[in-house]
Amino acid sequence: MPELPEVEIVRQSLNKKIIQKTIKKVIVRNRNLRIKVPIKFKKILENQKILNVDRFSKYLILFLSGRNKLLIHLGMSGTIHLLEQNKKNFFTNMSFYSSPELPNKHNHIEIFFDKFRLVYNDPRRFGFFEIIKDQQSLEKRFKKLGPEPFNSRFNINYIYNKLKDKKKNVKNFLLDQNFISGIGNIYASEILYLSKINPSKEGRSINKTECKKIFKNSKLVLLNAIKKGGSSIRDFKDALGKKGSFQKNFKVYGREGLKCKRIDCKGSIQKKNISNRSTFFCNFCQK
């Protein structure tokens, strides 16, 4: 599943291509996504101009020239592809993982502009397209979600007050979108490594110094990931289909059995399942 950095890269790519472009035609090939595509989806979108492409957490938000907004979530396997007319499209995938080219199957939604079209592909169909009627409805849609790491609401006191007196482990807190929005499995492991905190440590055992580390490293890891194009991402702007490179900077994720990258550490990277999610950590320096 894409995390905040991957979705941000898709947002940036879309912003470069579809802003101020008018939707000419919409084809819905399969309505049965995680949330069923509305019957009036085609009618609502056609002839609308894209004013802006925003993002909250792992959600893309397309602002249309009417009051409506189009909310997109890529789910587990959703990818967005851009195909230009009269041009051989070697690399179409703006998303991550999967093929850099548009697959033959599972192309559920197509949105046509003047000289190109946007195609949503999703083999597992856990993603969705949702019409939001106005700004108030959009704010209500995200009301229960926690702040992003870059939001002023996310601060040391917020972290400490949420964790104190809780038996829940800190890894699960970072994955809880009601606590903090946008962090997924990969980046939670990386954040806790930089913070020298064991992922199994209970929230009530996290002190304010450790909260400060979580606050600092949550921003640091995500900003670095965005800067490097995310993890295993293919940006449609790259004619060579170049991947995002943050995976080369992983300190723990996917490094089971390898030596800890800290110069003064004698530990090795271990893997364990926490709530059925693969979790990587150093057995020596993460206390």
Q: What is the pLDDT along the chain (287 residues), one digit of tens a residue?
A: 788 988 998 999 899 999 999 999 999 999 999 999 999 999 999 999 999 999 999 999 999 998 899 999 999 889 999 999 888 887 888 866 667 888 889 999 999 999 999 999 999 999 999 999 999 999 999 999 999 999 999 999 999 999 999 999 999 999 999 999 999 999 999 999 999 999 999 999 999 999 999 999 999 999 988 887 665 544 433 333 445 555 668 999 999 999 999 999 999 999 999 999 999 999 999 99
Residue 98 in tokens: 């999967």
- Active-site annotation holder among 5, 8, 11, 58: 58
Which residue of the set 3, 8, 148, 210 is catalytic? Answer: 3
Contact predicate 106/121, CB 8 Å: yes
Query: Which of 164, 237, 272, 277 does the annotation list as catalytic?
Result: 277
Homologous superfamily assigned to 4-141: MutM-like, N-terminal (3.20.190.10)
What residue type is assigned to position 130 of the chain?
E
Quick check: pTM over 0.85?
yes
In the chain, what are the domain boundaries?
4-141, 162-282
Task: Respond yes or no: is residue 2 known to be catalytic.
Answer: yes
29 is catalytic: no
Q: Can you say whether residue 161 is alpha, beta or left, with left for phi > 0 and alpha for psi between -120 and 50 degrees?
A: alpha
| The CATH number fitting domain 162-282, selected from 1.10.3720.10, 3.50.30.30, 1.10.8.50, 3.90.1150.10 | 1.10.8.50
Mark whether 3 is an active-site residue: yes
For 225-233, the CB contacts below 8 A with 24+ separation are: 225/3, 225/5, 225/187, 226/5, 226/8, 226/9, 229/9, 230/2, 230/5, 230/6, 230/8, 230/9, 230/96, 231/3, 231/5, 231/6, 231/96, 231/186, 232/96, 232/97, 233/6, 233/9, 233/95, 233/96
Catalytic residue, chosen from 2, 5, 149, 199, is 2
Q: Tell me if domain 4-141 and domain 162-282 are identical in fold.
A: no
Write b or e for each residue in 120-155: b if 16 or more Cβ atoms lie within 10 A of its Cβ, otherwise e: bbbeebebbbbbbeeeeebeebbeebbbbbeeeebe
Q: Is there a catalytic annotation at residue 55? A: no
